[in-house]
């Protein structure tokens, strides 16, 4: 009965929209648009069949990167806009931030897939669940002292200290809202129960092959949902995915930049977006990479143009720093380290380093990048041994402290310097895997920036960027390109988010009529 009443209430909301529209246009045309699949609103329709190269690694959104699957069923208080930098409302409609608290107004008439209401109690249960976890997400929200229920649809986070990194963190997968009943019953790591537009259809799913998700009929925002059903086909390599597209078994695939000309020639469309800002992450900055000259030599030996030609068909971009123009930490005029094999050799000789041997991990999808890096490092006398491993194991090694460096990126970096610095360089940071003390000036600037005014912060953050560059703590930045090959006869428009690879904005995909 409750489900029926909720459905009826939403139909009434849609009708009110139509009546409001009629103030400006004819009633008949407005209602036709609202209810008959016009430009403003169409009922979810069609099946999106998406070929991807990853299997789900369980349903706990806090554990290995799994947004390819989890963002179908889960939502957070806020989410990232398609540009990858703007934070927009999701389950919270508005929020107010001060140095001591963040207050959220929650969306009403929202239920989880099991019928449990979404409200302040649900938020408290989820934050407490993360605070009890033994992973980096607990540390990511360490600035929260307690969560206070103001009323059923208002919740306040009392902070231990200013936490400018927290809004970005709340857009990320580890802070997705899970049904409190599923948490209490202990099923949440095996069975996903969120508020998202799709429900996991376990009965029609074939594990290791096809994963099925159906539209959630009580979703609070039906006007925003495109496909009525989503089927994810696990196809481990780019060739098998493209062959499935050719055979009409899927409508779109996570593609390969080098395949774009062929796809276009065969009548398919290509969608390209920036997915990750890869770079050389120096972990062991006290041992093997303790000398800044050694770190700079590795920066100068990063074969970025070779990677671009061999793996990305010339699509890469090469920023000089972690953050782009418009971000307060962006330092105008900063020059990237140039590829210079002889210069890198000279630095190693100056440091008195020879016969340096290092290991670094790689999954198969990064094999070309890793092999080119190994080859280039070998040219300056550094023996870089690649340790190949399955993708799930690779992601778990990020925080293991076993490897002195990797070539990759980490999602928490995307949120700006207030996320990047404590995560990567603070002595207790989750990605400071060798627990190396940061340069004292860097820590001093960070602490000052936490309490600085909006006018004072940019100068402090930009000096931090300069130190990270000068000390070669990170370098060799390149923006990877994601490609979707798709059938334009079944899909009208693909939707993605900058800095989010291997996943679509599923509900925003527009199916062909």
Average pLDDT across the chain, whole number: 91
What letter does residue 67 receive in the DSSP assignment? H
Strand partners, 360: 386
Q: With the C-alpha atoms ordered 435, 426, 293, 327, is the resulting torsion angle positive or negative?
A: positive
Contact 60, 189 (CB under 8 A): yes
184-188 contact pairs (CB < 8 A, 24+): 184/125, 188/59, 188/60
For the stretch 151-168, pLDDT in tens is: 999 999 999 999 999 999
d(CA 346, CA 352): 10
pLDDT-derived band at 13 (thresholds 50, 70, 90) equals: very low
Nearest to 296 by CA among 258, 257, 268, 335: 335
The pLDDT > 90 percentage for the chain reads 83
Contact 236, 252 (CB under 8 A): no
Strand partners, 253: 51, 485
For the stretch 294-351, pLDDT in tens is: 999 999 999 999 999 999 999 999 999 999 999 999 999 999 999 999 999 999 999 9
Residue 251 is encoded by which pair of tokens? 């409508």
- Average the pLDDT over 9-25 and give the result: 40
pLDDT for residue 315: 93
d(CA 420, CA 405): 17
- Average the pLDDT over 381-409 and give the result: 92
Give all strands (DSSP E) within 75-153, no chain letters: 78-80, 87-89, 92-97, 101-106, 144-151
Nearest to 39 by CA among 444, 468, 492: 492
Furthest CA-CA distance within the chain: 82
d(CA 176, CA 161): 23
Residue 415 is encoded by which pair of tokens? 């949120």
Q: How big is the CA angle at 457 (ends 453 and 462), to the nearest 5 degrees?
A: 175
- Average the pLDDT over 100-116 and give the result: 98
Contact 297, 347 (CB under 8 A): yes
* Cα dist from 409 to 115, 154, 235, 332, 505, whole Å: 38, 35, 24, 22, 21
For the stretch 212-261, pLDDT in tens is: 999 999 999 999 999 999 999 999 999 999 999 999 999 999 999 999 99
pLDDT for residue 15: 40
Cβ-proximal residues to 256 (8 Å cutoff; 6+ apart), any chain: 238, 242, 483
- In this structure, are strands 87-89 and 78-80 parallel, antiparallel, or unpaired? antiparallel
- Average the pLDDT over 14-26 and give the result: 38
pLDDT-derived band at 42 (thresholds 50, 70, 90) equals: low
Q: Is 158 exposed, middle or buried (0-12, 13-18, 19+ CB in 10 A)?
A: middle
Q: Can you list the alpha helix ranges (DSSP code H) found in 23-119?
A: 27-35, 67-73
DSSP state letters, 374-403: HHHHHHTTEEEEEEE--HHHHHHHTTTS--
Give all strands (DSSP E) within 46-197, no chain letters: 47-52, 78-80, 87-89, 92-97, 101-106, 144-151, 154-159
pLDDT-derived band at 134 (thresholds 50, 70, 90) equals: confident
Position of tokens 């070929």? 51
pLDDT-derived band at 14 (thresholds 50, 70, 90) equals: very low
d(CA 47, CA 296): 50
pLDDT for residue 213: 99
d(CA 464, CA 398): 24
Contact 182, 189 (CB under 8 A): no
């Amino acid at each position: 009965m409750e489900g029926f009443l909720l459905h009826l209430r939403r139909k009434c909301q849609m009708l009110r929209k139509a009546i409001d529209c009629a103030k400006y246009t004819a009633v008949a045309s407005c209602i036709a648009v609202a209810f008959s699949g016009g430009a403003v609103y169409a009922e979810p329709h069609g099946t999106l069949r998406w070929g991807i190269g990853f299997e789900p690694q369980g349903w706990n959104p806090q554990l290995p990167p799994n947004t390819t699957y989890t963002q179908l069923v889960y939502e957070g208080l806020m989410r990232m806009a398609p540009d990858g930098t703007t934070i927009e409302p999701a389950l919270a409609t508005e929020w107010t931030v001060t140095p001591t608290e963040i207050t959220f107004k929650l969306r009403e008439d929202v239920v989880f897939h099991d019928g449990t209401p979404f409200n302040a109690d649900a938020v408290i249960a989820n934050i407490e669940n993360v605070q009890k976890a033994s992973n980096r997400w607990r540390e990511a929200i360490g600035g929260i002292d307690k969560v206070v229920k103001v009323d059923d649809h208002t919740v306040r986070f009392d902070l231990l200290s200013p936490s400018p990194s927290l809004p970005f963190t709340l857009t990320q997968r580890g802070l997705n809202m899970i049904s409190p009943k599923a948490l209490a019953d202990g099923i949440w790591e095996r069975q996903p129960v969120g508020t998202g537009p799709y429900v996991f259809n376990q009965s029609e799913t074939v594990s290791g092959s096809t994963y099925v998700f159906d539209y959630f009929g009580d979703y609070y925002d039906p006007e925003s949902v495109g496909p009525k059903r989503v089927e994810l086909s696990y196809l481990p390599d780019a060739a098998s995915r493209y062959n499935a597209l050719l055979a009409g078994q899927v409508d779109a695939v996570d593609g390969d930049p080098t395949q774009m000309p062929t796809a276009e020639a065969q009548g398919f469309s290509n969608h390209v977006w920036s997915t990750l800002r890869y770079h050389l992450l120096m972990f062991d900055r006290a041992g093997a990479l303790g000398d800044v000259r050694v770190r700079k030599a590795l920066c100068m030996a990063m074969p970025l143009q070779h990677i671009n030609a061999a793996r990305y068909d010339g699509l890469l971009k090469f920023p000089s720093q972690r953050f782009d123009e418009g971000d307060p930490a962006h330092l105008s005029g900063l020059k990237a380290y140039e590829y210079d094999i002889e210069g890198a050799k000279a630095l190693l000789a100056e440091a008195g380093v020879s016969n340096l041997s290092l290991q670094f991990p790689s999954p198969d999808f990064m094999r070309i990048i890793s092999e080119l890096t190994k080859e280039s490092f070998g040219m300056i006398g550094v023996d870089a041994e690649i340790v190949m491993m399955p993708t799930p194991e690779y992601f778990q090694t990020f925080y293991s402290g076993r490897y002195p460096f990797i070539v990759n990126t980490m999602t928490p970096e995307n949120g700006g310097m207030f996320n990047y610095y404590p995560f990567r360089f603070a002595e207790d940071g989750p990605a400071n895997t060798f627990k190396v003390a940061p340069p004292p000036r860097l820590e001093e600037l960070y602490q000052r920036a936490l309490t600085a005014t909006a006018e004072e912060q940019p100068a402090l953050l930009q000096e931090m960027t300069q130190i990270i560059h000068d000390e070669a703590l990170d370098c060799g930045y390149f923006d990877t390109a994601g490609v979707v090959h798709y059938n334009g006869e079944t899909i009208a428009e693909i939707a993605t988010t900058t800095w989010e690879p291997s996943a679509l904005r599923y509900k925003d995909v527009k199916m062909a009529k």
